[in-house]
Amino acid sequence: MSASPLPTEHELIERNRRFYDGLWRGAQLTEPQRFNTWPLVARLIAGATQRLEVAPGLRPRFPLKGTHFVDISAPALQRLQAGGANALQGHVTALPFPDATFDAVCALDIIEHVVDDEGALAELSRVAKSGAAVLLSAPLHPASWTAFDDFVGHYRRYEPEHLLAKLRAHGLTLEHSAIYGMQPKSSRLLDVGMWFLTHRRRQAMWWYNRTLPLFVRFQKPLALVPGMVGTAQVDEVLLICRRD
């Protein structure tokens, strides 16, 4: 966790909104089929007629057609709606849907961004039907906190066992997992990126949005394992859970 004073929930929501509004305003929508999560997603949503993805921005993993989306960013919502998606403005701790609505739920890169992660997990579990697939991701190891975590609006990183305990407490059983994410392994490269994000933000966002397709093209296939993947020196994990 960052040593700086912790933000309130409202402050963190506004920080995230400002960052992602700026990011998505100049970005293009990336189709779900281009990500290394697609083979997994295609299998999970087979037969899932009711689907939800929370906070996809312009990098959705579920198909636009037939999926409900919730996001806090107005520019992202406009692009999703223009692409034919059913997209609403909202927050993961107060999802605007009845209990047990969805056969498949996706919330990547989100629970680390909210103060009330217990409330977020409770909501994701609440709207999922019994037996629904719930796809999550989260960064690991508080000791690995960097300035990048602060900048993108993270509130926490997780110890693996603590994260698993939270999932179990909300009726989510981990079935498979994989190493996930694209944070640079080089601390020097991260420092350079942070300098540009801090001092040349508009240019940094421009370059990020135009080089992302290159990063996406060279993603490694997901290496799924039963249960929790070995987490030593792993920055982020993808979690495939089942609603009890």
User: Dihedral, CA atoms, 25, 27, 28, 30, nearest 10 degrees?
Assistant: -120
Average pLDDT over the chain, rounded to an integer: 87
Domain ranges for the chain: 9-243
163-178 pLDDT, tens digit each: 999 999 999 999 999 9
Mean pLDDT of 215-231: 86
* Residues ≥6 apart with Cβ < 8 Å to 186: none
The fold for domain 9-243 equals Rossmann fold (3.40.50)
Per-residue pLDDT for 208 more than 80?
Answer: no
Predicted TM-score of the model (pTM): 0.87
Percent of the chain at pLDDT > 70 equals: 83
Element at 75 (helix H, strand E): helix 74-82
For residue 54, CA distances in Å to 67, 76, 171 come to 10, 12, 19
59-113 pLDDT, tens digit each: 999 999 999 999 999 999 999 999 999 999 999 999 999 999 999 999 999 999 9
Alpha carbon distance 6, 12 (integer Å): 9
Mean pLDDT of 111-116: 95
